[in-house]
Amino acid sequence: MTTKVTTLIFLFLSTLSINILLAQETIVAPNSLRQSLVTDGFNSVSEAELLKREALYEKAYREYCNSSNEEKDLLTVYQLPIVFHIINQENGTEITNEEAVYKTLADVNAAFSNVGYYNSDTGVDVRIQFCLAAQSPTGITSNGITKSYSSLSVINEGNSLDLPNLISWNTTEYINVWIVRSINSIIVGVNPLAYSTFPTDHGKPKDGVVIESKFFGDSAVKSALLVHELGRYLGLYDIFYRGCDNGNCLQNGDRVCDTPPVKGYTNDACDEPFNSCLTDVNLDDENNPFKNDQNDLQNNFMDYGDLDCYNSFTEGQKTRMRYTAAFIRSSLFQTSCTEVDPSTSVVDIAEQVFSIYPNPATQQLNYENGVRPLKLYNAIGQLVYETTAVSGSIDVSNFPNGIYYLTDFKRTEKVVINN
């Protein structure tokens, strides 16, 4: 039996709904396409704030896309620390175990590497891997898995904001994944499967992924749901976001140029090609790679529908996720974690730290030992300063207070400016 799923991002619940079958269950997703940008469990932010954050993120990303490839780190394997919080039932019943988490994480890393079960001729190696946190925020040795017993094993509109209060590790240093028994919606009336936050929520207490336990340890097929949510955590929209609009592929749809526009989530069998939009080709858009209409990508991890189909990310999605990791979520690089396969060339966490001082900086920021010319980005990825010198000083007296990132595109260091 095939497994059809959709995740529900609780932002703008439409009165219209789409029904999808998961075995014998009926899953309902909102018909609104504005998903995942600022997700606080079941709670939404204002439309104005949503649009503001979206615009800032997208503007910075477009600037990055239009920069030269020499300024992009396309080869380093980013290693991101992750912690799984198993929220067992209050009566002591355990919903999953460490072995299931290990298996699912191995599946996720295979998916991001485009190997094993997920090896696809259309997919790419994203060169991002997830590693279990080696220490807790207080310095205690950890296997990257925590266990709690709470009524919050069942999540709904009334208690979703309490979940990070039960347990959450610093979300600027760890990817938090909360595993619960079920996610229920009183408003929608049926059972969604997972939700996650977008990069504009980086560092907020609720930043991370909430997912049901039945998607752990069972199969590589079900592990694809966590792959989907981590894609969203790293800045990807669903491929059908905003439908067939394709006037500018960096500004319309899912903002990824090599994923053709899709009218709605795919409901067709994996091997039955289908094209829901006739707007794939736009010769006036220099970033659009398509010269003829394309079939929908029902095998893409960011589709909805049949999990059996999921096996690939595109090159454009890879670029967007790596941008998010390197600039928006780069504080994750500072956290030690259990190493992935030692044959894999991963980022050396110790090498991520520049020699910079003082930090926090007031009037002047000094830096040493850059390996390439340096650039300074603000917290939303906008370039605010660049220099060809690998050692020197930056006058920050007129910079707004806040968090910045100094990078040579091989290493990144967080800088706090506090004038």
> What pairing do the DSSP bridges indicate for beta strands 392-395 and 364-368?
antiparallel
CB 415 within 8 A of CB 376: yes
Element (H, E) at 235: none
Cα–Cα distance, 6 to 192 (Å, whole number): 7
Closest to 414 measured CA to CA, from 378, 383, 386: 378
CB 75 within 8 A of CB 240: no
Phi-psi region of 155 (alpha: psi -120 to 50; beta: other; left: phi over 0): beta
Domains of the chain: 1-347 (3.40.390.10), 353-417 (2.60.40)
CA–CA distance from 357 to each of 220, 242, 350, 363, 365 (Å)?
Answer: 46, 45, 17, 11, 6
- pLDDT tens for each residue of the chain, 419 residues long: 444 443 433 332 222 222 222 222 222 232 222 233 233 344 445 667 767 877 888 888 888 888 776 566 777 889 999 999 999 998 888 999 988 999 999 999 999 999 988 888 889 999 999 999 988 888 888 888 999 999 999 988 777 778 888 999 999 999 999 999 999 877 665 667 898 998 988 888 889 999 999 999 889 999 999 999 999 999 999 888 877 877 787 877 788 888 888 887 665 677 778 877 877 777 777 777 778 877 777 888 998 778 888 899 999 999 999 999 988 898 998 787 765 332 332 223 233 345 788 989 999 998 876 655 677 878 777 778 888 776 789 999 999 998 887 875 445 677 899 98
pTM: 0.71
Rg, C-alpha atoms of the chain: 21
Task: Classify the C-alpha dihedral 32-34-40-46 as positive or negative.
Answer: negative
Number of Cβ atoms within 10 Å of the Cβ of 83: 26
